[in-house]
Amino acid sequence: MPKRYYLTTPIYYVNSVPHIGTTLTTFVSDVTARYQKMHGRDVCFLTGTDENGLKVKEAALAAGKQPQEFVDEISQTFRHIFAGMNIVYDDFIRTTEPRHVKAVQEVFRTLQKKGHIYTGTYEGWYDVSSETFYKESDLVDGKSPDGNEVRWVQEENYFFRLSAFAEPLLKHIESHAEFILPESRRNEVVGFIKQGLRDASISRANDGWGIPVPGDESRVIYVWFDALLNYLSATGWPSPGYEKLWPCDVQFMGKDILTRFHATLWPAILLGLELPLPTTLLGHAWLLIGGEKISKSKGTVVRPLELADELASMSGCKHDIAVDVVRYYMAATMPYENDSTFSYEDFYKRYNSDLANDLGNALNRSLVMAHKFVDGKMPVASAEPAAVEAIRSARSAFERSMTEFRIHQAADAAWGLVRFLNKYIDTRAPWTLAKANDPSLPNVIAAMLLCLRATEGLIRPLLPSTADAIAAQLGVEPLRSWDRIGAPDAMPHNIGLGEPKPIFPRLDLKREIMQTPQPETARPPQAATNGDQITIDDFTKVKLRIGRVLEAEPVPDSDKLLKLQVIIGGERRQIVAGIRANYQPDELVGRQVVVVTNLKPAKLRGVESQGMLLAAVDEKGGAILLQPEKEAPEGATIR
């Protein structure tokens, strides 16, 4: 029986609906599942809801609802939000389902039979918010280490012999480097286990909510013990056939629930059951807002679908594309080892720079040029080797990143290809090849289209709707198999291309981010006197745009002047600049510059100059070229 690729997310407490932070773990799993499916694997992606805890029961009562009615509602909201985020799971488990209850009770009985469970008296502190038992010495100023209120508990309980598994666990961790990722988290876990593990209390008094201990109705099973077992109950264990899924290939979770639960209690239970351990546990860091944990009471909750709605209405992009933008943000800023901070400003800026400019421009320019220069068809010509190599290297960087589920690096690898394509278009300049009837034109256009096709494949696990939109504009079926990325025939010859349509309309950031306070601009040292002042109309007469230097060479008989070929959007200009004292021609090629584009052409040393570069003046009167603080869109206007 071939084993399926089995991956899981934590199951979510249904005391409140998901925000962008809680959606992150499920998103990361979704990307991994889609990536594995593209490799032809038979994937089972499990997610679900954790419904039995005291925390959930108390939230239901606070909402004036019966627990079952309450969990039914919120569990449904989770499904709704996941579907809205285009998260496609294969199974959704709820811990109130009979299949789960049955498996949990069976695990309890099995461990009891094997002597891993005993009864005793528990005396200590309980944190309802994280459903965790603490001893006195764990508390900080009378609260849990996370700052939550704790309550005193004293009850007859069942205990699991966790302490007996410390040694075998350490051995497993030390001999399986891939078991806990990232490495920094593995070190935390090893440190925690080495401090010594206490046996775990695994029951609570039965107050009418939870899974009863088999044979003892006065007790319910501790919610973490019950919840962790969802990964096993979803396989159908102990019924034959569970091995088709078991063990998990990868389990994703936030760092807060790795050390104490997923990397100790959970594998210890599995060792007690004599079941193989999951291959990898990945404990990612947190997505913060304003540098702090996302919190309802502080009003810092951002909901992923609301964010997408807002973007769609502001930018005019389609809703499924706006959802992809939220997915892109989560991927690109994935808190892997370290926490990352969400801000609206960063979100909108990335939309403009990475999606509207980088990806949107690469797609639009390529298609427009293919329509203009090769009749809107994939040329019967092989792609230039530089592009083939760029695709190969982006694909292998993506694959390397995914071996450790570094989604942010995978996104960066895909964008590496997008950035290559934009630069390639600038430097190979199909418009000049066309003018000169250069025979390499079809090879260049073929290279551009093959890069787009490969980009479509690379981004498919991250941005599925955008990938579909790119395929439609290329006039091809979606690329669903990873092997086809970069295949020479992935863009069949003579295929008719679709119409180029911008999928990411640019946002006017100045207008949209009005609510973000802008820093005071420092005044120049000598304030202009009234007589020097100009009106805004005077200023806007000067047309400033971003250009990129394509070629640079000295002007003969001049030790000050360089002759530059600069591309501004699609237009090429020759500019003579007095910058030779500070710049070698070679270091200028490929660089972005600020150009005054509406200056009357002039001749300098007999060479025509069709514009002027902006520069600061150094102490010796030499030029220091102005450059955008980061890559700007080609030909961008400057205000």
Residues that bind ligand MSP (CB under 6 A): 10-13, 21-22, 24-25, 50, 227-228, 253-254, 256-257, 286-287, 293-294
Q: Which is nearer to ligand MSP, 131 or 324 (CB)?
A: 131
Residue at 115: amino acid letter = G
Question: Parallel, antiparallel, or unpaired: how do β-strands 292-293 and 602-604 relate?
Answer: unpaired
d(CA 527, CA 406): 50
Q: Which is nearer to ligand MSP, 55 or 395 (CB)?
A: 55
Instruction: Please confirm whether the linkage preceding 247 is cis (ω < 30° from 0).
Output: yes
Q: Which is nearer to ligand MSP, 12 or 583 (CB)?
A: 12
Residue nearest to ligand MSP (CB): 254
CB of 407 to ligand MSP, least distance (A): 13
Q: Give how far Cα 260 sits from Cα of 71, 106, 124, 233, Å.
A: 26, 23, 17, 21
d(CA 478, CA 459): 12
CB of 252 to ligand MSP, least distance (A): 7
Q: Which is nearer to ligand MSP, 335 or 486 (CB)?
A: 335
Q: Which is nearer to ligand MSP, 302 or 378 (CB)?
A: 302
Both tokens of 277, joined, read: 């351990």
CB of 59 to ligand MSP, least distance (A): 12
d(CA 384, CA 377): 17
Least Cα distance to 165 among 285, 77, 277, 58 occurs for 277
Contact 307, 351 (CB under 8 A): no
CB of 17 to ligand MSP, least distance (A): 10
CB of 269 to ligand MSP, least distance (A): 11
CB of 463 to ligand MSP, least distance (A): 20
CB of 93 to ligand MSP, least distance (A): 10
CB of 288 to ligand MSP, least distance (A): 7
Q: Where are the alpha helices (DSSP H) in 297-406?
A: 304-315, 319-332, 344-350, 361-373, 385-403
Q: Which is nearer to ligand MSP, 17 or 509 (CB)?
A: 17
Helix (H), strand (E) at residue 47: strand 43-50
Residues 6+ apart with CB under 8 A from 340: 285, 287, 288, 333, 334
Q: Which is nearer to ligand MSP, 293 or 506 (CB)?
A: 293
Question: Parallel, antiparallel, or unpaired: how do β-strands 280-284 and 180-181 relate?
Answer: parallel
Q: Which is nearer to ligand MSP, 133 or 504 (CB)?
A: 133
Least Cα distance to 370 among 433, 420, 289 occurs for 433
Q: Which is nearer to ligand MSP, 60 or 564 (CB)?
A: 60
DSSP string of 476-513? S-----GGGTT-GGGS-TTPBP-----SSPPP-HHHHT
Q: Taking the C-alpha atoms of 221, 225, 229 and 233 in order, what is their torsion angle to the nearest 10 degrees?
A: 0
CB of 401 to ligand MSP, least distance (A): 19
End-to-end CA distance of the chain: 65
Least Cα distance to 325 among 312, 337, 334 occurs for 312
CB of 2 to ligand MSP, least distance (A): 27
Q: Which is nearer to ligand MSP, 97 or 426 (CB)?
A: 97
d(CA 410, CA 417): 11
DSSP letter (8 states) at residue 202 = -
CB of 81 to ligand MSP, least distance (A): 13
Residue at 215: amino acid letter = G
Helix (H), strand (E) at residue 575: strand 571-577
Contact 390, 438 (CB under 8 A): no
Q: Which is nearer to ligand MSP, 307 or 564 (CB)?
A: 307
CB of 57 to ligand MSP, least distance (A): 14
Both tokens of 399, joined, read: 């694959």
Q: Which is nearer to ligand MSP, 24 or 305 (CB)?
A: 24
